[in-house]
Amino acid sequence: MAVLGLYNYWAVIVLMMAGLYILIARYNLIKKMIGLGVFQTSIFYLYISMGKVQGGSAPILDDAVPLYSNPLVHVLILTAIVVGVATTAVGLALIVRIYEEYGTIEEDEIKAIESREHDA
Amino acid sequence: MIADQLPALQIVIPMLAAPLCVLIRRSFVCWCIAVLANVLVLATSWAIFKQVQSEGVIRYALGGWAAPTGIEYYIDSMNAIMLLLVSFISCVVVVYAHETVRKSVQTGKHYLFYAAWMLCLTGLLGISITGDAFNVFVFLEISSLSMYMLIAFGSDRRALSASFRYLIMGSIGASFILIGIGFLYAATGALNMVDIASRIPDAQSQRAVLVAFSFLTIGLMIKSAVFPLHGWLANAYQHAPIAVTAFLAGTATKVSLYVLLRFFFSIFGTNYSFGGMLLNVVLLPAAVAGFVLMSLVAIFQSDLRRMLAYSSVAQIGYIIAAFCLASQAGLTAGIVHIINHGIIKTALFMSVGCIIYRVGHAHSDSLDNLFKKMPFTVCAFIFSGLGLIGVPLTAGFISKFSLISASMERGWWMIGVLVLLSSLFAIVYVGRVVEIMLFRKARTDNPQPTGLREAPLLMLVPMYVLLAVSVWVGISGSATLSVASDAAAALLGGYQ
Amino acid sequence: MKLYPRQRHRVLQIVTKLVIPFVLLFALYVQFHGDYGPGGGFQAGVIFASAFILHGLIFGLQRTRQVITPTALRILMAIGVLIYLGTGIVSMFLGGNLLDYGVLAHDPKHGQHWGIFAVELGVGVTVTAVMISLFYGFASRR
């Protein structure tokens, strides 16, 4: 049962692979951003679940609470979430501009347009 | 007082320049701010470099919290070299950028361009200076995000899709690095690099360290565009504004290579990375295939920027091959090549930028007899091209010579032969362009614009400054070698 | 009954008007409680911005832009970063390292409070401005 006891890692693996699969297999740029979001979220989950201490409470110093979770990972992930938001924003902004320029957000169609341009 | 605060100033100055640009918004003033900040950063990094040489490692505790608790900036000779290289290249290119940006970027957006540039510089310097593993990730993302933005400033619409592709690849790479750092933290309970390095020997048997190692390897390979994972690089280099390409080629991949060095040599330790994990079994074939194949591919490119981009992937192959030797001589060769290639490739892209500024594009078939019209630009291209090939008395010769002699020392003579083969390819792709620019008669249906003149002085002067430095490096030779061998010794010796 | 554009979604408009002050107040609470308990600039900035985004969704971008103009946002964005860095630089001038809050007041403990307060204020201002301008940027595209 040791394998099932690590269920948080299973969740991470499933999310991470789902995100990576979307990134690789989908041509739609918005879906790619969604995949990237899922992928990054799985990493946040990996960090957060790492900091959990069995039976520990929220990390607010108080004499009544002897045991608390590791707060450091939360701080790290707060930063990583902000980075993730920024990445998503930049990505979506690029997609908006790509749509304005190419009239499509399907990667294969964009590639077709580009190769036609290249030949011309 | 100011001598103690130098490491902080290194980050604060460019970071301060970015919001100032956003506030002021006048194109010319923003450029002045950017140049001023860059000159100050360059002076700071020179002072740090001198200080490290005379006094050894500098450790700077941010917020006054000492190392294991807080974040510290840790500067040994390797970091000092990277700081100097990044700030020097950025300083030269930002002066150069003024004319190209005025021509190819919408006037209303210039302030954003310079603000993004300053943020990118902050990120790159931050990666090179920090002694905290997680902080590396944060600075990496600061530099990458602003780099995506800078690439998207390109005048061609293909810049947008190139930037998006770089964003996807770069984010995957950075996420892999984040996972790796997470597993390292899980295994050792530390984020400070010195701390992690001291705890790795006890944690080595844990599988988490192995997982961390694999994720970091892949992530850093993507970020530094090592051969099979270089897909984002060619398009990004080709379609970005040319000043950005010069900056990107000289610094971004080099800084990622530095992170790779730092993790594999200082943190995991040479024995673990190359003895236990057999990293060279993975990296060496990739590196060798990279420099042979990519030099070959470069021959068939008609766009100069794309040709130089593939050549960059090849040069990264040389550097990785040098690291794989995992010896003092090999590491020295790799570090020297980081410095030399950063300078030479930036100079090459700057000369291509001058051509684009006047001709409008950089297709090699329409550069017939360009020497007549733009002699200084073509001269700069030829001299830095010779450096790229590795002709004696140029900077490139020193790094290639030390790479070959280092591989002979390990008894891997095949690498030496392949390096020579790839240099032959380099002669072909550089020589082909030089031949067109010098000798080919201008055709009657010449697609060159009429009234073609030499590029403006503000572009030529920074280019020639860079060129002068590369010539000085090539002729004096021993100066960079001794600095690099100090750095190599520091990396191989691990943290004290 | 014929409704003029202004009168559409009357219920939503009035509820929004009621809710927005509380959202802003909660954001300020999260902001200024940040140095004692959970909270801080990032969260507060997002909550503060969400009030404006809600206003934009219900009343239309035009009216929100009159409340807070893109130029104001650009200036706020820069000023937030400058507050953050300024705190660090002041601490350097007072003899500490960068962002060493201990030197900001006579008692290091008070100094820490002051420093965290100023830094979180800078973060909050920037995050608010960035979030609202992201909303403007995407919502104003056709």
pLDDT tens across A24-49, in order? 898 999 999 999 999 999 999 999 98
* Record: contact C78-B20, CB cut-off 8 A: yes
- Interface confidence (ipTM) of the complex: 0.93
What is the Cα–Cα distance from B304 to B349, expressed in whole angstroms? 9
What is the Cα–Cα distance from B471 to B446, expressed in whole angstroms? 34
Q: What is the pLDDT of residue B496?
A: 62
Task: Show Cβ contacts of residue C32 under 8 Å, excluding neighbours closer than 6 positions.
Answer: C117
- Whether A93 contacts chain C with CB within 8 A: yes
Q: Tens of pLDDT along B389-401?
A: 888 888 888 888 8
Q: Tens of pLDDT along B129-188?
A: 998 999 999 999 999 999 999 999 988 888 999 999 999 999 999 999 999 999 999 898
| Local confidence band at C4 (pLDDT 50, 70, 90 cut-offs) | low
What is the Cα–Cα distance from B292 to B315, expressed in whole angstroms? 10
The minimal CB distance from B12 to the residues C75, C79, C98 is found for C98
Do the Cβ atoms of A23 and A35 come closer than 8 Å? yes
Closest chain C CA to residue A74: C38
Q: What is the pLDDT of residue B137?
A: 94
The minimal CB distance from B64 to the residues C82, C85, C97 is found for C97
- How many domains, in total, are found in chain C? 1
Q: Does residue A120 register a pLDDT over 60?
A: no
Q: How far is B111 from chain C (nearest CA, A)?
A: 12
From residue A21, alpha-carbon distances to A14, A26, C133 in Å are: 10, 8, 32
Q: Tens of pLDDT along C5-23?
A: 666 778 888 999 999 999 9
Q: Which two tokens stand for residue B280?
A: 């060279």
Task: Report the helix count and the strand count for chain C, using DSSP H and E.
Answer: 5, 0
* Record: contact A87-B179, CB cut-off 8 A: no
The minimal CB distance from C100 to the residues B1, B12, B63 is found for B63
Q: Does residue A59 register a pLDDT over 80?
A: no
Q: What is the pLDDT of residue A83?
A: 92
Q: How far is A5 from chain C (nearest CA, A)?
A: 30
> Taking CB atoms and an 8 Å cut-off, how many pairs form between chains A and B?
68
Mean pLDDT value of segment B309-320: 92
Taking the CA atoms of residue A84, residue C138, residue C31 and residue A42 in that order, the dihedral angle to the nearest 10 degrees is -20
Q: How far is C93 from chain B (nearest CA, A)?
A: 9
Q: Does residue C1 register a pLDDT over 80?
A: no
Q: What is the pLDDT of residue B311?
A: 93
Q: Tens of pLDDT along B416-440?
A: 889 899 999 999 999 988 888 888 7
Percent composition of chain A: helix, strand, coil (DSSP 3-state, to 5): 75, 5, 20
Q: How is B386-454 classified by DSSP, letter by letter?
A: HHHHT-TTSHHHHHHHHHHHHHHHTT-HHHHHHHHHHHHHHHHHHHHHHHHHHTSPPPTT--SPTT--P
Q: Tens of pLDDT along C34-67?
A: 777 777 888 899 999 999 999 998 888 888 899 9
- Which other chains touch chain C, taking contact as 3+ CB pairs less than 8 Å apart? A, B
Percent over 90 (pLDDT), chain B: 47
Q: What is the pLDDT of residue C78?
A: 93
pTM score over 0.80? yes
Q: What DSSP state is assigned to residue C112?
A: H
Q: What is the pLDDT of residue B114?
A: 94
| Local confidence band at B445 (pLDDT 50, 70, 90 cut-offs) | low
- Whether B216 contacts chain A with CB within 8 A: no
Q: Which two tokens stand for residue B378?
A: 């073509």
Interface test mutation site (partner A, options B109, B160, B218, max chain A beta carbons within 10 A): B160
* Record: contact B8-C97, CB cut-off 8 A: yes
* Record: contact A50-B182, CB cut-off 8 A: yes
| Local confidence band at C116 (pLDDT 50, 70, 90 cut-offs) | confident
Q: Tens of pLDDT along B242-277?
A: 999 999 998 999 999 999 999 998 888 888 888 776
> Which residues does residue B72 pair with via DSSP β-bridges, in sequence order?
B61
Q: Which two tokens stand for residue B137?
A: 């990730």
Q: Tens of pLDDT along C69-96?
A: 999 999 999 999 999 999 988 888 887 7
Interface of A with B (CB under 8 A): 20, 23, 29, 32, 36, 39-40, 43, 46-47, 50, 72-73, 76, 79-80, 83, 86-87, 90-91, 94-95, 97-98, 101-102, 110, 114, 117
Q: Tens of pLDDT along B131-147?
A: 899 999 999 999 999 99
Give me chain B's average pLDDT, please: 89
| Local confidence band at A119 (pLDDT 50, 70, 90 cut-offs) | low
Residue type, B451: G
Taking the CA atoms of residue B463, residue B479, residue B333 and residue B408 in that order, the dihedral angle to the nearest 10 degrees is 130
- Whether B251 contacts chain A with CB within 8 A: no
- Residue A96: its chain C contacts at CB < 8 A? 138, 141
Q: What is the largest CA-CA distance in chain B?
A: 73
Task: Show Cβ contacts of residue C120 under 8 Å, excluding neighbours closer than 6 positions.
Answer: C31, C34, C35, C40, C41, C44
From residue A35, alpha-carbon distances to A15, A26, C119 in Å are: 10, 9, 34
- Which other chains touch chain B, taking contact as 3+ CB pairs less than 8 Å apart? A, C
Spatial CA neighbour of B334 closest among B408, B404, B427: B404
Closest chain C CA to residue B9: C98
Q: Tens of pLDDT along A60-112?
A: 777 777 888 888 888 899 899 999 999 999 999 999 999 999 988 898 898 89
